[in-house]
């Protein structure tokens, strides 16, 4: 018997290796690497991934696998290798790495079925197979498996006459429509038609239709097309002339929309210079990383589109990552417009079922381009010709749970495997990326100006402290207010950004300064205006807003801070005639709401678009001539070494919304730190100067890109325990690493307690520590027992984004 190596679905240290099993003879032909199987594991039956097939094993007394779960491998060989890489590079378990690469539908509880999808191909299947599916189009997996014909069914799936489908119970039912199609060849139809009674005129008409057009036709359609009742069809089905079947239709979220076909534009000289090296790498099948550095509107997307076209011409595939938040219909339209049905779209707004549908289009090679958010980097293409990451600096490309991977790193790893170029695009690249481009690790391609040669908008930086001194207590500075009025008169549009990150509305006593904190976490509670409640954003604790200070009993306890609702109310007072669309988590939580609000704004149904970060990107409306940023600097005070960088990026992005077309744009940035370099330089849209300045800061403070970081966070409900474990870990790390490494700890985390669990951390800064991986793995192994038994939690983030 043949032997398979399997990674079982038991995420623990002891099981984080391959186990060997025999393949029973009946499955010998079927089982392939990348498939999921059910195996006995101790007293249990568990799922596992086949990672290799081999002739022998070092282990005596192997058990047999129980049954396959897939008929085609869920993971390609490349993705299996990538799983090993993820495990090494994020310190996750192998099983977690594999699971991360699959759509959620494959992880949920499902009912698996085999379905005939192509009637005419099915006609050519063996008699046994035809008998198995006698009179039905769908069989449960169990029936197929027990028939002893699994291997024959596998061949049918390979030819495309059948496929395996998953019906998640109650969760993702496929959208189906009833279809009618001929039962037999055209000549058989002709024969059967001649046997029909002469009075069956309508029935003959239907048969004629199918003689002419021997393909499945939607039931509803044929009724209206021929003006017949369903009884006619029913009669023909009973006579064995036609067949009826429920067939799945893809729940393509964009299917009802028509995307106007676009043609490649003639590139400008700058674009031509930028695309040439990319096309060269595609041509030579060479891996290379490019940084495409250009402001918004400089023509980057057109370069992506034409590079992808070249890849498709060579018969290869493309992955395009865009940040979740900018995966707007506008963006999708540009790709669908150029490549039509070749494009699958993956983003979190899709239901589990819709995502699975899109994934299957990729898996079955029905599409060759995928546009999606972070996890689309695992698209199971086997012949990749290019990977593009737009807005490469976005923090959403890093996954903040296990496996803690960065999509950029995965992209480069896949690019190496496929010998294909990786393009990182941005107007404000991350410091790490720009530094690598400076060192020529990446090739820098620059698009220096906007397409329409439109000048960048003029930026006014307003010092809000001065406004206050001049007696202006409103949230709008004098100049912003005047410009708002001016735009209303001219019937032009304004975008107002309220920078909420790092900014919450808290309740404070004006007399004694008491701040209402969460009793379980060391963080202030956030005021929620809508329900008039106080909530903890970390543990969910809720309480009523106090009317008196719990500390000094004063009545002067009130909330501080600004929310979008409050700005909206304020606008209603000072500019009652302005029509405002508010976009924040509350107004966009329902599916499609985000898009509808934007469409309304595009159609001129409002004068002002007011929102949080989510409005900063991707908007491209000709009538926007004013952008106002209400509070530019709230992020600067977060415990995050990237806070200046993020502030610069956000302000630059949002400023780019104004005057993208014929009308000239203006920007007003209100701030309490007008002298801060990230505010000043974003006003000038001067990335390179910002880069120079920020690099000096990073060097001084030993942060990336000069040092790598690893963050170990320890959590437990007992403070003494947390401190002692973190102390031991820190000592251990110190003993294992070189003197070059900077080890900071043990210290309390910036949020020292969440949900009654204390948090301590150890931060490691290093340049080159080949032993670090082994050292960190050893820490996890050392505490494995306690992690699984007494609630100790140790998380390790290599290259952390958030330092909380």
CB of 275 to ligand ADP, least distance (A): 10
Choose among ligand ADP, Zn ion, none what residue 299 binds, the Cβ cut-off being 5 to 8 Å by kind. ligand ADP
Work out how close the CB of 642 gets to ligand ADP at its nearest, in angstroms, rounded to a whole number: 23
Q: Which is nearer to Zn ion, 460 or 517 (CB)?
A: 517
Give me 221's structure tokens: 């359609």
Q: Which is nearer to Zn ion, 417 or 514 (CB)?
A: 514
Residue with Cβ nearer Zn ion (301 or 526): 526
Q: How many residues bind ligand ADP (CB under 6 A)?
A: 14
Please name the helix (run of DSSP H) or strand (run of DSSP E) that holds residue 565, with its range, or none: helix 564-574
Residues 750-789: x where in contact with ligand ADP by CB under 6 A, - otherwise, as a string: ----------------------------------------
- The full DSSP string for 115-127 is EE--HHHHTTS-H
C-alpha dist (Å) from residue 420 to 84, 179, 242, 306, 559: 21, 42, 49, 15, 54
Interface residue with Zn ion, options 136, 249, 416, 552 (CB under 5 A):
552
Chosen from ligand ADP, Zn ion, none, partner binding at 190 (C-beta under 5 to 8 Å by type): none
User: Is the CB of 419 or the CB of 520 nearer to Zn ion?
Assistant: 520
Q: Which does 271 bind (CB under 5 to 8 A by kind): Zn ion, ligand ADP, none?
A: ligand ADP
For residues 534 and 683, give the distance between their C-alpha atoms in angstroms, rounded to a whole number.
Answer: 36
Partner touching 61 among ligand ADP, Zn ion, none, CB below 5 to 8 Å by kind:
none
Q: Which residue has the tokens 């960088």?
A: 645
As measured in angstroms, the least distance from the Cβ of 721 to Zn ion is 20
Residue 515 CB, nearest approach to Zn ion (Å): 10
Q: What are the phi and psi torsion angles at 629 (to 5°)?
A: -110, 115
- For tokens 């085609």, the residue is 72
Minimal distance in Å, beta carbon 751 to Zn ion?
10
Cβ proximity of 608 and 480 under 8 Å: no
Q: Which residue among 551, 586, 686, 786 contacts Zn ion (CB under 5 A)?
A: 551
Q: How far is it, in rounded angstroms, from Cα 680 to Cα 690? A: 9
Residue 145 vs 300, nearer CB to ligand ADP: 300
Q: Which residues contact 441 (CB under 8 A, 6 or more apart)?
A: 289
CB of 114 to ligand ADP, least distance (A): 44
300 touches, from ligand ADP, Zn ion, none (C-beta below 5 to 8 Å by class): ligand ADP
End-to-end Cα, the chain, rounded Å: 53
Strands of the sheet containing 217-218, edge to edge, are 217-218, 175-182, 242-249
Complex with Zn ion: residue 63 or 510, whichever CB lies closer? 510
Considering only residues 254 to 273 of the shown chain, the ones binding ligand ADP according to CB under 6 A are 265-268, 271
CA distances from 157 to 71, 152, 536, 678, 689 (A): 8, 9, 51, 57, 58
Residue nearer to ligand ADP on the CB measure, 206 or 614? 614
Around Cβ 468, how many Cβ atoms within 10 Å?
Answer: 12
Among ligand ADP, Zn ion, none, what does residue 514 contact (CB within 5–8 Å per kind)? Zn ion
- Quick check: 539 binds Zn ion (CB under 5 A)? yes
β pairing state of 533-535 and 666-671: unpaired
Q: Is 291 in the site for Zn ion (CB under 5 A)?
A: no
CB under 8 Å, gap of 24 or more: what pairs does 723-729 form? 723/760, 725/760, 725/783, 725/792, 725/794, 726/760, 726/761, 726/762, 729/762, 729/779, 729/794
8-state DSSP, 658: S
Over the window 484 to 523, marking each residue x when it contacts Zn ion by CB under 5 A and - when it does not, the resulting string is -------------------------x-xx-x---x-xx--
Structure tokens at 403: 């496996």
In the complex, minimum distance from the CB of residue 615 to ligand ADP, in angstroms, rounded to a whole number: 16
Separation of alpha carbons 675 and 653, rounded Å: 20
| Least distance in angstroms from the C-beta of 526 to Zn ion | 10
Q: Which of 749, 764, 800 is nearest to 398 (CA)?
A: 800
The yes or no reply on residue 309 touching ligand ADP (CB under 6 A) is: no
Comparing CB distances to ligand ADP, the nearer of 262 and 718 is 262
Looking at beta carbons only, is 505 or 647 nearer to Zn ion? 505
Residue 376 to residues 209, 323, 326, Cα–Cα distance (Å): 43, 11, 15
Residue 554 binds: one of Zn ion, ligand ADP, none (C-beta under 5 to 8 A by kind) = Zn ion
Six-digit token pair at 375? 């996890």
> How much is the CA Rg of the chain, to the nearest whole Å?
31
Nearest alpha-carbon partner for 578 in 493, 651, 468, 635: 493
Q: How far is the CB of 295 from ligand ADP (least distance, A)?
A: 7
Close Cβ partners of 108 (under 8 Å, ≥ 6 residues apart): 168, 171, 172, 352
**Which C-beta is closer to ligand ADP: that of 32 or that of 449?**
449
Q: What would the x/- binding string for ligand ADP be over residues 276 to 305, using CB under 6 A?
A: ------------------x-xxxxxxx---
- Is residue 653 within 8 A of residue 617, CB to CB? The reply is yes
List the x/- string, 431-470, binding to ligand ADP by CB under 6 A: --------------------x-------------------
What does 641 bind: Zn ion, ligand ADP, none (CB cut-off 5 to 8 Å by kind)?
none
Provide the minimum distance between the beta carbon of 543 and Zn ion in the complex, in angstroms, as a whole number. Answer: 10
Query: How many other C-beta atoms are found inside a 10 Å radius of the C-beta of residue 126?
Result: 12
Strands 624-629, 666-671: pairing is parallel
* Binding stretches for ligand ADP (CB under 6 A): 265-268, 271, 294, 296-302, 451
* Binding stretches for Zn ion (CB under 5 A): 509, 511-512, 514, 518, 520-521, 536, 538-539, 541, 549, 551-552, 554
């Amino acid at each position: 018997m043949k032997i398979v190596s399997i990674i079982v679905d038991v995420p623990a240290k002891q099981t984080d290796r391959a186990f060997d099993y025999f393949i029973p003879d009946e499955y010998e032909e079927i089982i392939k690497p990348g498939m999921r199987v059910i195996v006995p594991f101790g007293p249990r039956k568990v799922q596992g991934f086949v990672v290799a097939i081999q002739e022998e094993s070092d282990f005596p007394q192997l058990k047999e696998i129980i049954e396959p779960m897939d008929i085609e491998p869920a993971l390609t060989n490349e993705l299996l290798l990538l799983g090993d890489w993820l495990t090494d590079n994020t310190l996750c378990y192998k099983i977690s790495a594999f699971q991360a690469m699959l759509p959620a539908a494959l992880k949920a509880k499902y009912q698996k079925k085999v379905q005939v999808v192509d009637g005419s191909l099915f006609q050519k299947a063996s008699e046994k197979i035809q008998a198995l599916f006698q009179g039905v189009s769908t069989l449960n997996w169990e029936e197929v498996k027990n028939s002893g014909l699994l291997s024959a069914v596998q061949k049918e799936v390979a030819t495309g006459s059948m496929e395996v489908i998953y019906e998640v119970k109650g969760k993702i039912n496929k959208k189906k429509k009833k279809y009618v199609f001929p039962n037999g060849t055209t000549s058989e139809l002709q024969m059967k038609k001649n046997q029909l009674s002469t009075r069956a005129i309508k029935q003959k008409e239907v048969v004629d239709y199918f003689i002419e057009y021997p393909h499945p036709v939607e039931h509803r359609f044929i009724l209206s097309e021929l003006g017949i009742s369903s009884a006619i069809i029913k009669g023909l089905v009973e006579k064995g002339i036609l067949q009826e079947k429920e067939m799945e239709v893809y729940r393509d979220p964009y299917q009802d929309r028509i995307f106007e076909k676009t043609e490649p534009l003639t590139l400008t000289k700058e674009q031509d210079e930028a695309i040439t090296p990319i096309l060269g790498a595609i041509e030579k099948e060479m891996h290379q990383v490019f940084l495409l550095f250009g402001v918004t509107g400089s023509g980057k997307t057109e370069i992506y589109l034409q590079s992808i076209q070249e890849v498709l011409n060579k018969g290869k595939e493309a992955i395009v990552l865009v940040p979740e938040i900018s995966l707007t219909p506008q963006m999708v339209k540009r790709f669908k417009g150029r490549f039509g049905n070749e494009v699958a779209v993956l983003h979190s707004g899709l239901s589990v079922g819709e995502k699975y549908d899109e994934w299957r289009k990729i898996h079955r090679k029905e599409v060759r381009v995928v546009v999606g958010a972070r996890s689309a980097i695992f698209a199971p293409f086997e012949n990749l010709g290019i990977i593009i990451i737009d807005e490469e600096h976005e923090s959403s490309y890093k996954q903040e749970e296990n496996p803690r991977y960065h999509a950029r790193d995965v992209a480069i790893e896949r690019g190496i495997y496929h010998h294909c170029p990786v393009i990182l695009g941005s107007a404000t690249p991350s410091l790490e990326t720009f530094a690598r481009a400076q060192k020529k690790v990446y090739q820098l391609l620059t698009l220096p100006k906007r397409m329409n040669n439109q000048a960048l908008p003029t930026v006014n930086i307003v010092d809000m402290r001065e406004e206050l001194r001049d007696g202006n207590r409103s949230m709008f500075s004098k100049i912003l207010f005047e410009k708002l009025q001016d735009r209303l008169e001219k019937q032009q549009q304004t975008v107002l950004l309220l920078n909420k990150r790092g900014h919450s509305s808290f309740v404070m006593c004006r007399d004694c300064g008491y701040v209402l904190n969460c009793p379980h976490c060391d963080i202030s509670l956030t005021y929620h205006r809508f329900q008039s409640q106080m909530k903890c954003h970390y543990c969910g604790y809720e309480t009523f807003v106090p009317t008196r200070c719990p500390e000094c009993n004063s009545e002067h306890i009130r909330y501080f801070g600004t929310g979008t609702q409050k700005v909206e109310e304020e606008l209603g007072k000072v500019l009652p005639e302005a029509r405002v669309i508010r976009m924040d988590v509350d107004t966009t939580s329902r599916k499609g709401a985000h898009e509808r609000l934007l469409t309304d704004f595009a159609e001129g149904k409002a004068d002002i678009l007011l929102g949080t970060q989510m409005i900063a990107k991707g908007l491209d409306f000709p009538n926007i001539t004013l952008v106002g940023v209400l509070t530019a600097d709230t992020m600067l005070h977060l415990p995050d070494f990237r806070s200046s960088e993020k502030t610069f990026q956000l302000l630059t992005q949002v400023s780019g919304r104004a005057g993208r077309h014929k009308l000239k744009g203006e920007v007003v940035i209100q701030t309490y730190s007008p002298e801060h370099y990230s505010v000043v330089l974003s006003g000038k849209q001067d990335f390179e100067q910002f880069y120079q300045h920020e690099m000096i800061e990073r060097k001084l403070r030993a942060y990336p890109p000069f040092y790598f970081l690893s963050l170990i966070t320890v959590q437990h409900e007992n403070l003494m325990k947390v401190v002692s474990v973190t102390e031991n870990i820190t000592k251990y790390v110190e003993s294992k690493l070189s003197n070059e490494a900077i080890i900071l700890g043990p210290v309390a985390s910036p949020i020292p307690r969440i949900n009654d669990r204390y948090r301590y951390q150890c931060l490691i800064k290093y340049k080159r520590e080949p032993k670090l991986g082994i050292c960190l793995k050893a820490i996890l192994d050392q505490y494995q027992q306690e992690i699984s038994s007494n609630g100790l939690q140790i998380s390790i983030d290599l290259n952390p984004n958030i330092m909380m």
